[in-house]
Structure 1
Amino acid sequence: MTTTHGPDTRTWLDPALDTEARVDALLAEMTLDDKVGQLHQVANINPGEDADDLRAGRIGSSLYASGATAGNERDEGVLAGVIDEIQELAVGGSRLGIPVLFGRDVIHGHRSVAPIPLGLAASFDPELVRQAAETAAREAVVDGIAWTFSPMLDISEEPRWGRVAESFGEAPVLASRLAAAATQGFQGDDPSQPDRLGACAKHFVGYGLSAGGRDYDTVSVGENTLRNLHLRPFRAAVESGVLSVMAAFNDVDGTPMHAHQHLLRDVLKGEWGFDGVVVADWNGIGQIVFAGVAEDDREAARLAIEAGVDLDMVSGAYLAHLGDLVRDGEVDEALVDDACRRVLRMKFRLGLFDGAAGPDSRPVGNAPTPESRALARRAGVASHVLVKNDGALPLADDASVLLTGGFVHEGDVLLGTWVLDGRAEEVVTPAAGLTERLGDRVTVDDGRFPDRTLQLARTSDVTVALVGEHPNRSGEANSVSDLRLPPGQLDHLRMLAGLRKPLVVVVYTGRPLDLTEVLDLADTVIVAWHPGIEAGSALADVLSGDASPHGRLPMTFPLSTGHIPTSTHQRPTGRLIRADVDHREGRYVDALTYPRLPFGHGLTYSTVDYGAPRVSDGELGLESATTLTVTVTNTGDRACREVVQAYFRDPVAQVTRPLVELLDWRLVDLEPGQSEDVTFEVSATAFSYFGTALTERVDEGEVLLLTGPDAATLQQVSLRVTAAEVRP
């Protein structure tokens, strides 16, 4: 090992000092080239090929991925032994001994894969999301990973976009709470603990509005809409202590996000006080050139560092040009110092200088355990959304069942998109799960021969048809122009429906689909998303009634592809909208306009009656709160879990506001015949929004509070806010 300092002078290695003092001490010893090296991230670092760069301090971090769209193809996995070898070169063989930060896409599980994030969002359960992220962190660190590029917080009403599978849906308040839960799960209270990961909120910002639902495309949006919708989950993640934020591929109104000084440096770092790392997306700095905003990588590097991008993912632009830009007087070295400080701060916070990622600190073993499987199974059940049920479910105890469709024996496919380390052989398939539960009452048929399938359906009491999308239609670079089921599947369902026997359709998908004809053909329809490692067990629990379905749709399902966008983001227009007329008769000549399935929709195996909402005080000041109460009653004969939802509408504001916006929700367990008063504490700050001056404000005046089982089935009560406030 070659060093120029003895242990007694390396004060940054003293864990008794606070983080900022350690960063200061290390920065004082660094040359400009040392600092630039910390801002350079490579892909799939190799201890042989990259040894000289490691010893010279020219590599600050590495991600392990199969390529730019790693969610679409598997790699060979991560070997902790290789990471340890790399750290020995970086720490033991370099002048300053700075550890390398290793990242990987651990999006919704490592080995014990949970449902896709959109499926987890359907649970409306932040604690479940927190536990899933905690399990993923504990398993990933075994392989030497210290950082994950999750959670994805893009708000979207565009289901053609494949990356909605990675999101928490369309509602800012739901995405915000789940953002905080995922951040807490990955990082815990102390991210330096050996079973925790650094989290990354992505993609900042507006990516969910990509034109036409096409990945990487442009975004035309004003800052008011960004602040009132798309920035909110990111702010929640920042307030929860997320260690990093990833810049988005898209431009915003003509400025690429990797060069967007106002949103990155002024808003994220300045206004919000974010002191973590802003990391580029894959070659995001180089793509400033492709966008036609920079002539070459040198200019792109200047624009990115000025905008506030701290860490250059794989483009190499910083390593190649940033030092010269400073020496030539084109970039202030203070910007490099700030970026380097943030990267070092994150490494100290993760405990990398104190051996947190070393072989002696890491947990041992990350194969699925009974406990991790139980959590994945519970998450799988919670993600299933029963959207129609004309009595075919739950299955009768003596019913004979045909399980058919292309997914019956699938394992790997049901893990969903962005699964780098899950293993197909560890997945409970639908055939295995249902056979385990029903025994010889179930017949399994993959549907390759429709005539044979039809024969089996004739002799079965109930047919369960598994349809939907392969995960290759989800995730990055997998947008679609048509939201109907893939070719051939509707023909299969029409054939089965023609028998006039009970037909249950289970839809595996990474996005909202056009289910209009499916809902017409089937007696019962379940949206199961891609449910993860316990797919078959969760399906068996729901079909049999061992578990009551209680998932809710976190995105609106449109009547057709042509109806996009359709969501709870809809705002009033200059032409008066009457809910009892326009939403049904519509503004299309050839179609109605209301959603096929509204946000928040989902059924149980019971029925729940909602009373009229009421408030404890009809007037609300800025310093007070009121209680919104609704009585719900289980009027059926089975226990159920109801997701009681509260919405609001601000009828008169400085800017147009949503017709309904999710305010809060409660998960309520009800026995048959049980009534319960469900309460929501409501303060005036819940109605705050950004006005024309882009400052946050609360207005005096009427607010409508609404409660019900989904965004389209609501009863309202009026409330008056008695004072106004504008925040700087």
Structure 2
Amino acid sequence: MPATDPTARPWLDAALPVDTRVELLLAVMTTAEKVGQLHQVANLDADDPDDVATLVAGGVGSSLYASGATAGNERDPGVRREAVEAAQRVALERSRLGIPVLVARDVVHGHRTVFPIPLGLAASFDDGLVERAAAVAAGEAAADGVRWTFAPMVDLSEDPRWGRVAESFGESPVLSGRLGAAFVRGLQGPSADDLADAGRLAGCAKHFVGYGLAAGGRDYDTVSVGENTLRNLHLRPFRAAVDAGVATVMAGFNDVDGTPMHAHPRLLRDVLRGEWGFDGVVVADWLGVAQLVDQGVAADAREAAALAITSGVDVDMVSGAYAAHLESLVDDGTVATEVLDASVRRVLRLKLRLGLFERPYAATSSPYPATSEPTDATRAVALEAARAAHVVVKNDGVLPLRADATSYLLTGPFVEEGEALLGTWTLDGRGDDVVTPSAAFRHRLGIADDATGERLWVDDGRFADRVQQRARRCDVTVALVGEHPWRSGEANSVTDLGLPPGQLDVLRALAAVGRPLVVVVYTGRPLDLGAVLELADAVTVVWHPGLEAGNALASVLFGDVEPSGRLPVTFPRSVGHVPTSTHQRPTGRPIPAAHDRREGRYLDDLTGPRLPFGFGLSYTSVTYAAPTVSAATAPLGGSVSVRVEVRNTGDRPAPELVQLWLRDPVAQVTRPVAELLDWRRVTLPPGGSRVVEFDVGTDAFTYAGRDGTARVDRGEVVLLTGPHAGDLTPVTVTVV
């Protein structure tokens, strides 16, 4: 394409195709300006002379507004529309080409309206709910000038020692893929053209790939994984996000069998771009390019820059390696001009798709007010999501609570908490906006806001002797225990999966009183709940539930809504059992469940999990009939229907998650003992029943064989139905 007069700026003609506009702009850019589009800085400030000079020179393409490398663990004043737009104005009005800056921020599970952490959202098993929550977050963040977020995280997480399990959708590739795709649609809109809408954000599937396998659950550690496990497990949710149209992908901090992901051309170029056809932006993680030096594959930042861009990393997040070295690397031929131009094209295309050239300022384009407060409408979605995150894992009949009981004791470190119930990675949420458990209980019981005693005692549990005395005076104790969000999230791995120090001692004292004890566990990871399950009459796992924490808790415990959450991860018996997940493949000496006690893999404990994937109770009982199939055989490329009757045998409505699992008994490579395939949510009236049907195409049996290519085998396939991974009934189909 011939050179274009930059003063005419023909690329601003919105009537032209996006790719044409990109080429018109690229034709007039200097190498330095091209490099600038790949340089991301932190917290651009229009009052900082150095930042202004960089903007005027066209030396920066995007800015991440964050408090630091581990912003999810820190508080900052919040992103301000005025600051964002002041920096944007410099780029547009004072740089030679007037290319807008793309503003990014971590909007992981909400902006001003905070939803449950992703692991809590995953407990809903509800694609539509996740999509609606992401749409709310996108609208609020876009109102503050943010147009790019680094979510969803679709790393499979089977090691609860790893703090970032809180950011994940759990361990199942199907669940993580479906919810990740739903999150992308919520952020970006259901169609590719929706990305230009003012209330949308560009999403980012992270961390590509295998980050959830960090050795020992230690954040940033190395990953040893074979091609079979990568393709049949860890790549699958990323493929689902790409198929959903995710605009960007982030490279992981980890290496994969010795090759750091920021320098991994086979996975970034051959698989992501080649096999999958991803044409969006690949962004580094914080300092990820420069850290190639620390990982021992680059001698210095210059070599790191060359490795990263030739491997497929388009945007350098805050390390400055591209800004310092990429121009000279192109000039001396170390990096081909075509490689640089391809990355710049992708960045410019993203900015045009977002409509930044037409509507660069949120103040004039967003339908939301700046720094909008949570509204009744956004709180309604947050309440629905928080309720769906509640997973009842034990109930000896004490739940639901009776509102007419004589008295309750509400105790534990979370009773008056707001901030701690938001969870990790809540940069713009405010603890003052959270409905606390104590406020919600008072409201539910019709008690004045500041009242305590008589029908409701509220005690934060600092003095265990006082708490125990009060428990003796009450009909039921509800103890709120678990982790502060500072104990989960990035760089917050642990070696002990028990409750934080002191909490179990208080629970033992409360159990010794002999009155009904309900334990509510707020957490960012699966914990070892063995002792808790023994001590308590009822246990509910709630994760970190967000803005509507108290209202959701009261409505579930008092039975105003039926508990519907299910575990999106396996809960191990102890830290010594880790990893324990549904990824386990058959061994040469399998252990039948009935023989675990005497023939297990451990001498000192059972082998199976404490709580299986998909487990969760309602306030009634549901029975499953044996599944049936529409035909005993299915032609390759055809389908078969699986039907199972579920019946509510109790006197309350039953929200049931009917699950379909797969076992491939003979394959080219070992397959999981059982792998989640699909699920249906149904609500059964008291005494009612329903036949749930799954239409299963044989393409659902696809897996990567020994050579890494996709295949479906002829032969027997076992389909299993049931309420969770530990209670499944099989039926066999033969693919012919």
TM more than 0.5: yes
Residues 157 and 584 (structure 1), Cα distance of their counterparts in 2 relative to 1, 3 Å cut: farther
- Report whether the alignment pairs 1:297 with 2:296: no
5 Å-filtered alignment, 1:321-720, equals 321-355=325-359, 357-365=361-369, 366-399=372-405, 400-440=407-447, 441-582=455-596, 585-720=599-734
TM-score by length of 1: 0.98
SS in structure 1 at match of 2:16: coil
**How far has the Cα of 1:583 moved from its partner?**
7.0
Aligned to 1:725: none
Q: Give the Cα separation in 1 of the matches to 2:373 and 2:421.
A: 18
Q: Secondary structure at the match of 1:226?
A: helix
Check whether the contact 2:69–2:286 (CA below 8 A) recurs between aligned residues. Answer: yes
TM-score by length of 2: 0.96
Aligned equivalents of 1:643, 1:227: Cα separation in 2 = 28
Tell me the CA shift for residue 356 of structure 1: 5.1
Output aligned runs, 1:62-73, within 5 Å.
62-73=63-74
Residue type of the alignment partner of 2:331: R
Distance in 1 (CA, whole Å) between partners of 2:368 and 2:241 is: 29
Q: 2:452 maps to which residue?
A: none
Q: 3-state DSSP class of the match of 2:470?
A: helix
- Distance in 2 (CA, whole Å) between partners of 1:313 and 1:576 is 47
Report the Cα distance in structure 2 between the residues aligned to 1:513 and 1:675, rounded to whole angstroms: 34
Deviations 1:619-672 (A, max 9, x none): 111232111110000100001210011101000000000000000000101100
User: Which residue of 1 is the match for residue 141 of structure 2?
Assistant: 140
Distance between the aligned counterparts of 2:718 and 2:483, measured in 1?
39
Partner of 1:170: 171
Aligned to 1:35: 34
Q: Is the 8 A contact 1:154 1:202 kept in 2?
A: yes
Say which SS state the counterpart of residue 594 (structure 2) adopts. coil
Q: Aligned ranges for residues 176-325 of structure 1 at < 5 Å?
A: 176-188=177-189, 189=191, 190-325=194-329
SS at match of 1:686: helix
Distance 1:504 1:297, change over 3 A: same
Structure 1: state its 5+ residue gaps: 723-728
Identity of aligned residues (%): 65
Corresponding residue of 1:128: 129
Q: Is the 8 A contact 1:326 1:333 kept in 2?
A: yes
Partners of 1:254 and 1:598 lie apart in 2 by: 33
Displacement of 1:411: 0.1
The answer to which of 212-221 and 361-370 deviates more is 361-370
For residues 119 and 306 of structure 2, the distance between their equivalents in structure 1, rounded to whole angstroms, comes to: 37
Task: Give secondary structure in 2 for the equivalent of 1:42.
Answer: strand
Q: Displacement of 1:499 after TM fit?
A: 1.3
Moved more, 365-374 or 293-302: 365-374
| Aligned counterpart, 1:726 | none
Q: In the TM superposition, what whole-angstrom CA distance separates every residue of 1:325-366 from its partner, at most 9, and x where no partner exists?
A: 111111111110011001101101111111154421023322
Q: Secondary structure in 2 aligned to 1:391?
A: coil
SS at 1:581 equivalent = helix
Q: Which letter maps to 1:638?
A: R
Counterparts of 2:93 and 2:483 in 1: how far apart (Å)?
49
Structure 1's 693 and 592: CA in aligned 2 closer, same or farther, altered over 3 A? Answer: same
Paired letter, 2:115: A
Kindly indicate whether the alpha-carbon contact (under 8 Å) linking 2:637 and 2:699 is maintained by their aligned counterparts in 1.
Answer: no
Contact 2:160 2:217 in 1 (8 A): yes
Q: Is the 8 A contact 2:518 2:536 kept in 1?
A: yes
Q: Distance in 2 between matches of 1:42 and 1:702?
A: 55
Cα distance change, pair 584–206 in 1 and its aligned pair in 2 (3 A): farther
- Check the 8 A contact 1:648/1:703 in 2, yes or no: yes
Structure-2 residue corresponding to 1:14: 13
Shift of the alpha carbon at 1:141?
0.9
CA distance in 1, matches of 2:598, 2:666: 24
8 Å Cα contact 1:194/1:356 also seen in 2: no
One-letter amino acid of the structure 2 residue matched with residue 463 of structure 1: T
The amino acid of 2:213's aligned partner reads L
Q: How many residues align?
A: 718
SS in 2 for 1:669: strand
2-structure distance, mates of 1:179, 1:664: 15
Code of the aligned partner of 1:387: V
CA 1:48–1:583 in structure 2 vs 1: closer, same or farther (change >3 Å)? Answer: farther
AA in 2 matched with 1:389: N
SS of residue matched to 1:702: strand
1:467·1:507 contact (CA, 8 Å) conserved in 2? yes
Go from structure 1 to structure 2 and tell me whether the alpha carbon gap of 1:660 and 1:357 turns closer, same or farther (over 3 Å shift). farther
Shift in alpha-carbon separation, 1:85–1:711, aligned structure 2, 3 A: same
Distance 1:357 1:297 in 2: 35
Answer whether contact 1:192 1:356 (CA < 8 A) is retained. Answer: no
Structure 2 Cα separation of the partners of residues 48 and 435 of structure 1: 48
Which amino acid is 1:421 matched to? D
The secondary structure found in structure 1 opposite 2:518 is: strand
Deviation at 1:48, TM superposition (A): 2.7
- Partner deviation per Cα, 1:370-393 (whole Å, 9 max, x = no partner): 111111011000000000000010
C-alpha distance in structure 2 between counterparts of 1:422 and 1:584, whole Å: 50
Shift, 1:439, TM fit? 3.0
Structure 1 CA distance for aligned equivalents of residues 272 and 361 of structure 2: 29
Aligned-partner Cα distance in 1 for 2:726–2:598: 12
User: What SS is found at the alignment partner of 2:593?
Assistant: coil
| Structure 2 Cα separation of the partners of residues 238 and 364 of structure 1 | 28
Partner SS for 1:331: coil
In the alignment, residue 231 of structure 1 is paired with which amino acid? L
Pairing 1:9-158 to 2, within 5 Å after superposition? 9-49=8-48, 50-158=51-159
Which residue identity is paired with 1:68? Answer: A
CA-to-partner distance for each residue in 1:413-466, whole Å, 9 max, x for gaps? Answer: 000000000011100001111111013432211111112111111111110000
In structure 1, distance between residues paired with 2:403 and 2:364 = 52
Segment drifting more, 460-469 vs 614-623: 614-623
For 1:131 and 1:216, how far apart are their aligned partners in 2? 32
User: For the residues of structure 1 that align with 2:79 and 2:430, how far apart are their CA atoms?
Assistant: 14
Question: Alignment partner of 2:357: what SS?
Answer: helix
Distance in 2, matches of 1:272 and 1:397, equals 55
